[in-house]
Amino acid sequence: MRILVVEDDTETSSYITQGFHEEGHLVETLSDGRDGLSQAMSEAYDILIVDRMLPGLDGLSLVRALRAVGSKVPVLFLTSLGGVDDRVDGLNVGGDDYLVKPFAFTELLARVNALARRPHMKEADTVLRVGDLEMDLIARTVKRGGGNIELQPREFRLLEVLMRNKGRVLTRTMLLERVWSFHFEPRTSIVETHISRLRTKIDRPFGKDLIHTIRGSGYTMHDQP
């Protein structure tokens, strides 16, 4: 899943990000409510995790604005405001769930997975396809030619980014940011190594490459000759 976390507490944000990364999910974080609203309106996410007390724009206003423009993305409020009225306010503006801090990551994960299983997330949102390659974001499975392909969490995340951007060229820097959350040059061949592993698993056994290198630019996925 692609998850946007809007949380201004850096310790909480890092804790959430690390946990979801270990589960193989794509996580982006922002600390300002206005930035969170702009990002949620311009990009497609499977789940939003939103704090209520945010600089720029509070969480309630953020979600209210999203619902006003017709966005149906599931939203989980994660906040220290735990009174009955607080929870009611969060649900009334369009929140789908409400979790009070302090919290256990296992519960947060379970609630996010429960939201992802709800009917409003259609197959088009939860199943990615490129040619005969299929990725189920909820079941966390990858298949090609009808057979299952076992991937490590980081491999799964890299493949998800490539499949979500079918036909688009992604640079090494873009992949480092989206898959590893690196906003600097690590001076390693980590991208190339993981691309090679993916090719070994999803391309070489099937006789037709879906991952393509665009020399001097980056990588792309497509099923064209």
| Sequential pLDDT tens for the chain (225 residues) | 889 999 999 999 999 999 998 888 889 999 999 999 999 998 889 899 999 999 999 999 999 999 998 888 999 999 999 899 999 999 999 999 999 999 999 999 999 999 887 765 544 467 899 999 999 987 889 999 889 999 998 899 899 999 989 999 999 988 988 888 776 677 788 999 999 999 999 999 998 999 999 998 999 999 987
Q: What token pair was written down for 136? A: 């189920």
Which pLDDT score is estimated for 183? 66
CATH number of 2-116: 3.40.50.2300
Q: In what order do the strands lie in the sheet with 141-144?
A: 127-130, 133-136, 141-144, 147-148
Residue 119 CB contacts under 8 Å (≥ 6 apart), including other chains: none
DSSP 40: H
Q: Which of 7, 1, 159 is nearest to 74 (CA)?
A: 1
Which pLDDT score is estimated for 224? 85
* Residue 181 and residue 17 in contact, taking contact as beta carbons nearer than 8 Å: yes
Which pLDDT score is estimated for 63? 95
Which pLDDT score is estimated for 138? 78
Which pLDDT score is estimated for 121? 52
CATH 1.10.10.10 fits 126-221, yes or no: yes
- Please state the domain extents for the chain: 2-116, 126-221
Q: Is 154 exposed, middle or buried (0-12, 13-18, 19+ CB in 10 A)?
A: middle
Which pLDDT score is estimated for 119? 65
